[in-house]
Amino acid sequence: MNVPKRLIGSLVEIQWKDPNSHRGDIDRALKGRAALATWKDAGWVHDITDGVVLLAHSYASQPGVSIDNPDEMERTAVHEYFIEKIIVYTPVVETKL
């Protein structure tokens, strides 16, 4: 799936196929995309470079440093070829009653 760069900064859920290994009877081995495991991850699209989507699950900064300037992130990197579905979440604007 072609993931557009306009999604950078968006909160999303992606479903993607994961290359994996399997040991067993060769006659029963699944073939093609059916042989790939399926994952779902949610987070912010941090970057898209060379077809690789970096999905940030969390950001961190040192004590006393603003979270607006994080120095670490927990992330998943997956090539857009393996992405099957993307759900883009929209922000909810808080209204005062």
Boundaries of every domain in the chain = 5-22+29-88
pLDDT in tens, 42-78: 999 999 999 999 999 988 989 988 888 888 889 999 9
Amino acid identity at 2: N
Beta bridge partners of 16: 39, 83
Q: Output the pLDDT for position 17.
A: 93
- Tokens 């060379």 belong to residue: 50
Mean pLDDT along residues 66-92: 91
Q: Which residues contact 74 (CB under 8 A, 6 or more apart)?
A: 56, 57, 58, 60
Q: pLDDT tens, 18-35?
A: 988 878 898 988 888 889
H or E stretch covering 4: none
CA distances from 26 to 22, 30, 31, 35, 93 (A): 10, 9, 10, 12, 54
Q: What is the structure's pLDDT at 69? A: 82
Whole-model pTM over 0.95 = no
